[in-house]
Structure 1
Amino acid sequence: MDHGTARETKAQAVDYARELSERVVRPSDVADGGPALAIGLAPQPDGSYALAVRYRLGLPSVRRIARKVVQEVGLDADVRRTGRIRTLAVGDDPSKVRPRPPVITARALGETGRTRPLRPGISIAHVDVTAGTLGAFVHKDGVVHALSNYHVLSGSPQARVGDVIVQPGPADGGQAPRDRVGTLAARIDLSAERDATVDCAIALLDDQEVDPEYPVGRITTTAVALGGEEVAKIGRTTSVTRGRVTAIELDNVVVGYGEELGEISFDNQIEVESTGTGPFSRGGDSGSLVYRADGVALGLLFAGSESGGENGSGLTYINPIDAVLDALGVTLV
């Protein structure tokens, strides 16, 4: 299918899946009455698109819906099972605002220590969160800010603009006031009661002198993911990893945010699988900027699954970068 036809087919599949969900899905299979499965577009080797269907492993009624959707469409479909999809801050439950012990640092390949000047890929977090990744530097009203996820720089609806941000994050030993680097400046609020597109926030930096270089050089431009791109990221936990965009425009990606926020459904998301022997991302990589080999930004990493992908190490989900920048009213430095 070409892009236009694929989008039309996707819209029909989403409607059909919602209709089936109301009749077939057991309440225990779908938390909070959310959607049964994620549907988007999967790039094919010839440049066309198939329907991308993602369902959570271990949910029988959802698996049946996935099969029925594929039968109804009657065209090629890329069907994948995933584990539970969660945010990727450090710790088992990123919604809890108690720092994890620094022992987690010993398992990280990325930069978990105190780093000055600040640069992309290092540990950072709200003073009451565990640890995530500083993804990029952005300008807002001519002033340099650090970009990462809501659940890294805010972490909770109780957080407020002006709260302290530390580098490294508390899970890596960061403390205020010794390791303060700035304050929470803005965030896009999240709620289980409405669908979302982005998980993002920015911190106003105390020191405006920063190092904006990535392994591929400085990144100042963005692009819309079309699928099939070879990508990379630098994160606090797994450092530099490489992957491939395996789905775009995914709707109904249900992400677990722990007890406080529950599960939130995201639309228009990008999926990446690792092209190496290990995972593309792990807990603590949340907030990483995902970019092409030519140094063009595609998205902001925020969540991942327990399983799936060609090497079985899980799938990673990212917000489209232009949606992130537009929501916050910022530009890349």
Structure 2
Amino acid sequence: MDLNDARALKRQVIASVGDRFASAAGAFATPGLAPFAVGIAPRGGADYGVAVRYDHHDDRVLAVAEDLAAELGPDADVRAVGRVRALTEPTAPTVGEQGRVRPLRPGLSIGHRDVTAGTLGAFVTRPDGDPYVLSNFHVLAGSPQARLGDPVLQPGPADGGRYPQDRIGALAAVVALEAGRAATVDAALASLEDVEFDPTYPAGTLTGTTTVEGDEPVQKIGRTTGVTDGRVSAIELDGIVIDYGEGLGQLTFDDQIEVESTTAGPFSQGGDSGSLVYRPDDAAAVGLLFAGSETGGTNGTGLTYLNQIEAVLTALDASLVRGSR
């Protein structure tokens, strides 16, 4: 089916899921949070279906997912993904970089003074003309208690970063995350204080931004897993519930991008939060990585979730730095 038909089917599935669970909403662990995320599944060329993602730990959810898969047939890509978590806790690094590096560059360990560690995603400018570091809210702020001006370190504290010697700047802007309101971005900026940086990626310097239509090859460089390759496996994903653990709890996100690995390992792991995801052929930015699932994906290593990069930049009134500095 074409994209417009897939969007219409998506709306029908969302309504159907809502009807099925309306009477039992209070029986779930977090009332008001949908047990399914629904989006658009690319099937090659101009062919699309509906993407349904669910946590298989609840038998009632599993039963409805099986019914949906049977009813929709080949028009649906129905997958169990387990719990989807913000990648807040760094896992043991494989090939990423966790040490102190100057000049700064994408993919390095970074974090708020009271956070563990995430990834330096990109460099941006704002109307004031100054450069800033782009990463996630949960990397550069960490909690609602964070305040503008708080120190940001490279490397992040979990990787040995210490204040004041590893301070590179300060928390400068955040997009607040609030329970009970669907979000579209998990993003924040840190100022840079007389620190040189190189905005080059493995694919080269950024050429701009792009809106994905599904099935595109993508790449990222992150603190934990370094450079990894994947493909866009779903777009326009609404109602995906992200577990942030203590402090923020569970939050719902709409209009997200899903990526699955195209290699033997995972596309992302804990500590890769904040990575910029881009197309490897032309270095056009696609999204900001912030969460991942336990299972799912063609190789069984989980799925990764991104905010649309244009939504991130608009929310922060920022523009990507493309060339060398």
Interval of TM-score (by shorter of Structure 1 and Structure 2): over 0.9
Matched, 1:332 2:311: no
Q: Paired residue for 1:136, among 116, 122, 132?
A: 122
- CA distance 1:329–1:220, shift in 2 (3 Å): farther
Structure 1 counterpart of 2:269, which letter? R
Deviation readout 1:45-100 (Å, 9 max, x if unpaired)? 24310110001122111122323444555661001001211011334xxxxxxxxx
Helix, strand or coil: the match of 2:34?
A: coil
Pairing partner for 1:126 from 112, 118, 128: 112
Residue identity matched to 1:263: Q
- Report what 1:205 is aligned to: 192
Q: Distance in 2 between matches of 1:46 and 1:112?
A: 39
Deviations 1:247-296 (A, max 9, x none): 00000110001121110010000100001101000000000000111211
Instruction: Please give the alpha-carbon distance, in whole angstroms, between the structure 2 residues aligned to 1:197 and 1:122.
Output: 24
Q: 1:176 matched to which residue of 2?
A: 163
Q: CA deviation at 1:34?
A: 0.4
Task: State the 1:208 CA deviation.
Answer: 5.2
CA contact (8 A) 2:88 2:244 kept: no
Partner of 2:30: 31
Matched, 1:304 2:303: no
Alignment partner, residue 14 of structure 1: 14
Which amino acid counterpart does residue 310 of structure 1 have in structure 2? T
- 1:242, 1:280 within 8 Å by CA — same for their partners in 2? yes
Residues 144 and 208 in structure 1, CA contact (< 8 A), matched pair in contact too: no
Kindly indicate whether residue 256 of structure 2 is the aligned counterpart of residue 269 of structure 1: yes
Q: Aligned runs of 1:182-331 on 2, under 5 Å?
A: 182-207=169-194, 209-293=196-280, 294-331=282-319
Partner of 2:148: 161
CA distance in 1, matches of 2:27, 2:177: 23
What amino acid is aligned across from residue 153 of structure 1 in structure 2?
L
**8 Å CA contact retained: 1:243, 1:273:** yes
What amino acid does structure 1 have at the position aligned with 2:30? A
CA contact (8 A) 2:103 2:195 kept: no
Unmatched tracts of structure 1, length 5 or more: 92-103
**What is the distance in 2 between the residues matched to 1:176 and 1:169?**
10
Matched-pair contact (CA < 8 Å) for 1:21–1:65: no
Query: 2:177, 2:319 → 1: CA distance?
Result: 22
Task: Give me the whole-angstrom Cα distance separating, in 2, the residues matched to 1:81 and 1:311.
Answer: 13
Question: Are residues 26 and 79 of structure 1, via their aligned partners in 2, closer, same or farther at CA, if it must alter by over 3 Å?
Answer: farther
Deviations 1:122-168 (Å, cap 9, x if unpaired)?
Answer: 00000000000000000012110000000000000000000000000
**Aligned equivalent of 1:48:** 47
Q: Helix, strand or coil for the counterpart of 2:264?
A: coil
The percentage of counterpart residues that share the same residue type is: 55
Give me the TM-score of the superposition, normalised by structure 2.
0.94
How far apart are the structure 1 equivalents of 2:246 and 2:320?
33
Q: Would the aligned equivalents of 2:25 and 2:32 in 1 still touch at CA under 8 Å? A: no
Gapped regions of structure 2 (runs ≥ 5): none
What SS does structure 1 have at the residue aligned with 2:163?
Answer: coil
Secondary structure in structure 1 of the residue aligned to 2:314? helix
Once residues 117 and 244 of structure 1 are traced to their aligned partners in structure 2, the CA distance between those partners, rounded to angstroms, is 30
CA distance in 1, matches of 2:146, 2:26: 35
Farther off after superposition, 108-117 or 284-293: 108-117
User: Does the aligned pair in 2 maintain the 1:87–1:303 contact within 8 Å?
Assistant: yes
How far, CA to CA, are the matches of 1:33 and 1:7 in structure 2? 23
Letter in 2 for 1:237: T
Q: Which amino acid aligns with 1:55?
A: Y
Distance 2:254 2:220 in 1: 22
TM-score normalised to the size of structure 1?
0.92
Question: Which residue pairs with 1:149 in the alignment?
Answer: 136
Give, in whole Å, the separation in 2 of the partners of 1:59 and 1:230: 33
> Which residue type is aligned with residue 115 of structure 2?
V
